[in-house]
Amino acid sequence: MSQSVTEATTVDREALSGDRLYRRALIGLIALTLALFVLSLGLGTATLSPTQIMGALFSTDDTASPVWLIVREIRLPRSLLAVLVGGALGMSGAALQGYLRNPLAEPGIIGASGGAALGAVLAFYFGLSYAIPFAVPFAGLLGAAAAVVTVYLLAGRGSAPLTLILAGVAISAFTAALTSLTLSLSPNPFAMSEVVFWLMGSLADRSMNHVYLAAPLIILGCLILLLLGRAIDGLSLGEEVATNLGINLRRTQILLILGIAMSVGAATAVAGAIGFVGLIAPHILRPLTDGRPSRTLALSFFGGASLVIAADCLIRIITPDRELNLGVLTALLGAPFFLVLILRMRGTNYS
Amino acid sequence: MGPEMNETDAAYRGGAEAISAAPSPSGWIPRLHGTLFAAALLAGGAAFAQPAAAQDAPPQRIVSLNVCTDQLLILLAPREHIAAVSYLARDPEVSMLSEEAADIPITYGNAEQLIVAKPDLILAGAYTRANIPLLRQLGFNVVEVPPATTLDEVRDNIRAVGEAIGETEKAEAMVADIEAELSALRDGDSERPVVAPLYANAYTSGPGTLVDAVIEEAGLTSIGKELGISGMQKLSLETLLMKRPDALLLPDHRYSGDALAYDIFRHPALRALKDQIPSLDWDSAATVCGTPNLVQVVKRLHAFRDELIAAKASEAAAP
């Protein structure tokens, strides 16, 4: 920095470099997501060449060809869902952390995923998926909304992280117990072993049907969360400042719950409850936002998407025959991260 | 006794699943030495149990603890000699004689029930919840019948049950009937179409299972044999599509209530394959146990094989 530069231009330049950093990070993450998406299309028990995969990807419907079926009906939905589910969780985590001004807020920890799983399980095992087309993702939405509202009422905004965690743990444990109870009461003996799917999540054997069911709600939910950018930035300066900036707190609150419920509810309804994604993604990406919480939203979408799609690729590489659950890998990555976070927070007084 | 009961309950559920969903023997939980405590507690109760039946008199109060021995018992023993069968005997998903079992008392196989029932013979299988060493210690006469995985073992089991219950002649006649019906079907089997049996959760059964033995006997080859899969294993949808068998064998009925396990049957990729190759809806419960009913399954599969070969020939003849 030359000494002749005035203070004003320094600020401008810093703001500019912040913008540039954010833009570069966003483009980088989109590229990473795309690269992992392509890698994901190449992984599976059948050995297909890149030309075969690309050919099937861009050809017209050809259900007589096994390659077309594998690429378009097995691998494409799996990869699309990884992006959508990871994106939903990442962005929800960023929105919750920004709005609640609490670094530990995350759909899994505050019980939104657990509530969504319970809703989806109730709808699915009572046979509603046959009766009403969108019953399962919609029930997931309701479950997630109920969990978020309950935790919100218990802990409130700006409360100590501990209060939020306690409320979340209670809701998570309660919904997990009810999920297990529902499954063990099912007349179908397979239901009991499916507890693992609902509590740990998986993308194995998902189909385009699941994409059609979840994608509209996830995309709509994420768009609603993106609308909250200005409000989250305002709230980072405190509630009074935010109100003075013309931010309608009530509207923000409703949109947040709606956005979380739609995205997390639909994601959980098709992939089960996947933990830690919404916690890790915003934390890793925060240094790239130049102190503006609203920027974590878009970044965390692609960060979460990269994380889930990478985990899903790893699963197919480590155990191709007997697929691990996604939650196993995200928890393996997430738990140490969480510990570091707690160690760092020990020095901070939140009261 | 309380904790012991819970433990056997859990073990039983594992066992029941191994029979009905039959994924692998991993559902079988080895008995823990902790049960020796129960054995010690119950040692005094041994006096309640009848001593082993004398060689000459056939058993009069027979209890079966396994869905396969249940069915052989119902077929071979006079009704008045059957004291109880396992509760699975009434489950149409795994038992072919669920209607016949409807008026026979059922047991969940715990030691308390058995001490009250005072059977003079207990028939048990590999996936039985009951603690067999404990039952023997209590003085019960227990005959274990391992699950049949080949048609030879089916014959052995029929003979073993016949001998245990004193119905040797009836058992021999049953074995002879099975042999006669099966040998009438054998025709050199030059051409062997490949079939893929597919169950919930995308499991298939390869060599080493009774299903595979039945498929072989019907002049067909299982996709598991082609792929080198042994036992019950998960078949990846991708592998199935690439391998493209000559036909699919799909279960013709399901448990009530939905399950993710059935997602495989709804998968668009499987539906597309089903539109392209023939498929047979079959009663997979008929192949859970080695009973004379297997002959009907072999006959049905053999007829299906003939259809497959005929369809192939006419397809080849067409320009």
Tens digits of residue pLDDT in B166-217: 999 999 999 999 999 998 888 766 789 999 999 988 899 999 999 999 999 9
**Over 90: is that where the pLDDT of A250 sits?**
no
B261 near A CB under 8 A: yes
Q: Do A188 and B255 touch (CB under 8 A)?
A: yes
CATH architecture of B188-317: 3-Layer(aba) Sandwich (3.40)
Q: Where along chain B do the CATH 3.40.50.1980 domains lie?
A: 48-178, 188-317
B201 near A CB under 8 A: yes
Q: Which one of A70, A129, A188 has the shortest CB-CB distance to B241? A: A70
Q: Which one of A44, A66, A208 has the shortest CB-CB distance to B268? A: A208
How many residue contacts between A and B have a Cβ separation below 8 Å? Answer: 96
Question: In this structure, which amino acid lies at residue B33?
Answer: H
B171 near A CB under 8 A: no
> How far does the CA of residue A240 sit from the closest CA of chain B (Å)?
49
Give the range with max mean pLDDT: A31-45, B17-31, B246-260: A31-45
> How far does the CA of residue A126 sit from the closest CA of chain B (Å)?
6
**Residue A302: CB atoms within 10 Å:** 26
Mean pLDDT of chain A: 87
pLDDT at A347: 63
Our measurement of the distance from residue B278's CA atom to the centroid of its chain's CA atoms, rounded to an integer in Å, reads 26
B21 near A CB under 8 A: yes
Optimal mutation site among A65, A80, A188, A202, interface B, most CBs of chain B within 10 A: A188
> How far does the CA of residue B240 sit from the closest CA of chain A (Å)?
9
- Which domains occur in chain A, in start order? 10-345 (1.10.3470.10)
Q: Do A127 and B257 touch (CB under 8 A)?
A: yes
Question: How many residues are recorded in chain B?
Answer: 319
Q: Which residue of B has its CA nearest to A322?
A: B234
Q: What is the mean pLDDT of residues B23-32?
A: 37
pLDDT at A131: 74
State the Rg of chain A over Cα: 21
Q: Do A73 and B268 touch (CB under 8 A)?
A: yes
Q: What is the mean pLDDT of residues A47-69?
A: 89
A107 neighbors A89 (Cβ within 8 angstroms): yes
> How far does the CA of residue A171 sit from the closest CA of chain B (Å)?
25
**Over 60: is that where the pLDDT of A345 sits?**
yes
Question: In this structure, which amino acid lies at residue A202?
Answer: S
Residue B245 to residue B261: CA distance in whole angstroms = 22
Helix/strand/coil percentages in chain B, nearest 5: 55, 10, 35
Buried-state track A41-61, b at ≥16 Cβ within 10 A, e below 16: bbbbbbebeeebbebbeeeee
**Over 60: is that where the pLDDT of A234 sits?**
yes
Cα B234–Cα A55–Cα A72 angle in degrees, nearest 5: 40
> How far does the CA of residue A27 sit from the closest CA of chain B (Å)?
33
> How far does the CA of residue A204 sit from the closest CA of chain B (Å)?
10
Q: Which one of B21, B238, B259 has the shortest CB-CB distance to A74? A: B238
CATH code, residues B48-178: 3.40.50.1980
B272 near A CB under 8 A: yes
**Over 80: is that where the pLDDT of B46 sits?**
no
Phi and psi at residue B197, to the nearest 5°: -75, 130
Higher pLDDT, A163 or B299: B299
**Over 90: is that where the pLDDT of A60 sits?**
no
Contacts of A93 (CB under 8 A, 6+ apart): A105, A106, A107, A277, A278, A279, A281, A282, A300, A304
B17 chain-A contacts, CB cut-off 8 A = 189, 193
Give the range with max mean pLDDT: A166-175, A220-229, B117-126, B128-137: A220-229
